[in-house]
Structures are given as C-alpha cells and as structure tokens.
Amino acid sequence: MTTDSDREVYLDHHATTPVDEQVLQAMEPYFTEHYGNPASKANHSFGHAASNRIEQAREQVAKGIGARAGGEAVAKSIIFTSGATESDNLAIRGLAKHAQKNDLGSHIITSRIEHEAVLEPCKYLEEKGFDVTYLPVDKYGQVDPATVRDAIQDDTFLVSIMAANNEIGTINPIKEIGSVVRDYEDIWFHTDAVQAVGAVDIDVNEMGIDLMSISGHKIYGPKGIGALYVDLKIKNKIEPLQLGGGHESGKRSGTPNVPGIVGLAEALELATENREKRVEHVQGLRDQLWNRLSNELDNVVLNGHPEDRLPNNLNVSFPNVNVKELVRMSLTDHGVMAALGSACASGEDTSHVLEQITDDQERIQGAVRFGLGKDLTEEDIEYAADAVIEEVQLTESIFG
C-alpha cells in the first residue's frame, strides 16, 4: 500500500475551506482589541471603531461582486448574515412575504439541482400556498435560459438559479438568465453564488442579478458568516425573517459578527485579487487528477460539464465500486479526504443532482466529488491519485 502515514490530502473544498492566514490576521484584533458593539457607535470610540470597520467591509464586499453605481461601490446593497443558508432564506422567504402582503404574485422559478438552502425554503413556501416550478437541467447539469423564459407566468415574482453547482461543479449561464429576467420589470433574479465566487468573474450589474448569496467559509474565510447582495431598488421589499434591534437596516437583527464580517470581506478581496492565479493552479491540479484517473482506470466517468465547470471541481463515477467504503474507509486510511455527492446533504440516500443528469443507477451510486484547493501541490495530487487508483483497482479485482 502507498500509505504515507503522516500525509493528509484534503480534497473536499466544496464542503469548506481553511481560513487563510491573512484573513485570520485581519480578524484577530476584532475579537480582543476592537471588541466594541457596532450598535454603540454613538456612545463611545470602541463602538465607533467596530461600526466603521463593518462599513468598510460592506464596501469591500460590494466592490468584490461588482455592486457599483457611478464607479462607486454600493455598500448599502450588502446585508451580512450567518451564512449562505440564511442569505438564501432571506432572499426567497423575505421576498415571498413581501409578494404575499402586496399581492405581487405567488409563483417562483428555480431548478431541480439547487442547494438545499434554496430547495427547502421553496418547499416550505409551497406548503404556504406558493407555486414553484423546478426546472430540469441538461445532461451536464445546466439550466437552459429558454426554459426560464418559458416558465414565466403572470404571477411569477422570483427566479432563483444557482451560479455554480456544489456537487458536479457545472456553471450556469447566469448572464443569459439574468437578461431573460430583466425583460420583466416585476420579477427578481436571485442566484446562490457560493461556489462561483472566486472561481468565476461575478459582476452583479453586468449579469442582471438582483439578489446574490455568498458564504465566508467556501472562500478561505470563516464559518458562520455570509452576505446577501440586494439591489437597492428592491432592498426595501425584503421582509426580515429575524426580528429584534433592527440591525442591518432592519433586514437582519442581531449584533453583527464583527470578526466574521472582517474575515468575509478580506477573504473575498483576496479571492478577487488572486482569482486568475488560483484558478490556474487548481485547474492544473484538477486536470492532473483527471488525467491520472482516466488513463489508469478502465471505468471512470466524468459528471458535470466538460468545460463550463468550476476549476476546482472533479466529480467522477466509479461504476460498480462501493464508493461509500472507498471514501469513508479506504481513502481515509491513506489520509485522502473526498466526498460522496454533497456534504451538505449527507443524509440523502442518493444525490438529487446526479439523479437529474442521468438514469444510470451505477453512475449515480458510484459518484465521488473531489474539491481541489489553492494550497494543494502536485505532489499531493500524485499521492491522492495513487491511493484512488490502487483502491479502485483492488475493489474491481475482487468484484469484477
């Protein structure tokens, strides 16, 4: 066996990423030194300092996603939340509440391969009398913008389509979907861009995005912090889900997570500044891993789009291999960490995403997700490829 007992190779960067050293350093003073409550800004300098830093972070985030007007970052379009799950809920349920109150329609369009943080709020709204269309995807997991246009009804008020899929890495034609939605004045476009940020050049203005969810821990920032971008034209339409002291302009009450906010802003800034370099690096590693697996294994299938995919995503099926055992036992023994389908839906029996792109049960049951990260080396990938190939061949020789 090619065990190298000390080596650990983490290939699960879609589930979460480590906090970047530079991000951690930026956060640190906001735990111990500048610990004032930003809501106390009028009372003393500690509160004032915290509040100032949050406003600076808001501007950093707005800038990072292209939220500008007249060349200036539109800081007010950013609402800080506890993560993308909350951002997705606030966007969808917050607008649904507004639509219901003001009789603006009750129909939502989304896709069948969204993250649970979008699907579950949609299901919840169906129970409350809303009507939801779940668009199918093609064999690569892409939403066709024409299907969005065809699904629009008189009572549609929201379209929510993810920018990139967290399981198979497929990138959606967000700009084209945004332009379809833009033709309708009273329909809003939300996108869950958690996985796309840092990998794809996101520009909310250019892409016609009205609302967008992002998360800190998927981009080398801390867990438990996220943001919702909301175009200022509709910000007053979002009904808060959490009531209290009226923080975040009344849209999200609760004392802001100051160090988390600083971490998210720094992580996003670094992701934007270093995007090209990081993309090139992880894509190289991804291709290296795919070349090894596809050259040395007889039976391995790529899931997702061959080109329009996240540079750090490799989702493959090993038909006839018990991948639960492969991932949880064999690879773990080698210190190689990968994922089955999606970590967020680990309770699921089969991936709701793979089920939408194929009927082949062996392919669905045999899927493994490798999520590459910026700090991995070619050596790490060689080691991981050796382990995967060895273990897959071993099961094949037993069962084949």
Number of helical H runs and strand E runs in the chain: 15, 15
**Site mask for ligand PLP (CB under 6 A), range 211-240, x = bound:** ----x--x-------x--------------
Which conformational region is residue 129 in: left (phi greater than 0), alpha (psi within -120 to 50 degrees), or beta? left
366 makes contact with ligand PLP (CB under 6 A): no
77 binds ligand PLP (CB under 6 A): no
Binding test (CB under 6 A) with ligand PLP, winner from 77, 111, 156, 166? 166
Query: How many residues bind to ligand PLP according to rule CB under 6 A?
Result: 14
Q: DSSP readout, 295-338?
A: HH-SS-EEES-SSSB-TTEEEEE-TTS-HHHIIIIIIHHHTEE-
Give which of 199, 251, 289, 231 is closest to 9, Cα–Cα. Answer: 289
Nearer to ligand PLP by Cβ, of 107 and 115: the residue is: 115
Q: Which of 234, 297, 301, 344 is catalytic?
A: 344
* Shortest distance, position 386 Cβ to ligand PLP, whole Å: 29
x/- mask, ligand PLP, residues 181-210, rule CB under 6 A, reads -----------x-xx---------------
Residue nearest to ligand PLP (CB): 83
Q: Which is nearer to ligand PLP, 192 or 269 (CB)?
A: 192
Q: How far is the CB of 334 from ligand PLP (least distance, A)?
A: 26
- Number of C-beta neighbours around residue 295 at 10 A: 10
Which DSSP string corresponds to 3-33?
Answer: --TT--EE-BTTT--PPPHHHHHHHTHHHHT
Applying CB under 6 A, does 92 fall inside the site for ligand PLP?
Answer: no
Site for ligand PLP in 100-139 (CB under 6 A): 115, 117
Residue 213, φ and ψ in degrees, nearest 5: -100, 135
Residue 340 β-bridge partners? 368
d(CA 70, CA 327): 50
| Residue 122: active-site member | no
Footprint of ligand PLP (CB under 6 A): 83-85, 115, 117, 162, 166, 192, 194-195, 215, 218, 226, 344
